[in-house]
Amino acid sequence: MSVYSILLVEDHAGFAKALLTMLGQNQNLQVVAVARDAEEAFEKLRTLNVDLALVDFSLPDMTGVELLEKLRDSYPDLRCAILSGHLLPQHARRAIAIGARGYLIKDDPRGILTGIQHILEGEIYVSEELRDLGLSDLRSDLP
């Protein structure tokens, strides 16, 4: 069984702790580092080789989507997903258009885990709540 490494970029300590607990229950997922902002994420990526970056949509120094653009330029093979409390189709479309492999809604823990599994299998995943809003076509937008 493969163990996949994850960098979590999340500025809310309570949510990060809850997510670490949830992901820690899955034997093939390991959060190897947590960054509170974009600068810290880049510092950690200099020395880490991770399979997935989970990036909060709302970070203190830039949006998660802006960070995703910079990550794509510096680490083009790194799979990234946006974690968001925003159920806004335009945010999900923009994230996927610039290279996010997923858009995961924070208040759906099972959806986050399901999304991570799909992303690590090479798929694009958009939380079910957004698919219910008519975004099921995002999977076909993939490069």
| pLDDT, one tens digit for every residue, the chain (143 residues) | 689 999 999 999 999 999 999 999 999 999 999 999 999 999 999 999 999 999 999 999 898 999 999 999 999 999 999 999 988 888 888 999 999 999 999 999 899 999 999 999 999 999 887 766 555 555 444 43
**Range of the structural domain that residue 14 is part of:** 4-81+107-125+137-141
Residue 96 in any domain: the answer is: no
pLDDT confidence of residue 142: 40
What is the domain count for the chain? 1
Residue 17 in any domain: the answer is: yes
Residue 89 in any domain: the answer is: no
DSSP 28: T
The answer to whether the beta carbons of residues 129 and 123 sit under 8 Å apart is no
Residues 6 or more apart whose Cβ sits within 8 Å of residue 134: 89
pLDDT confidence of residue 91: 87
pLDDT confidence of residue 41: 96
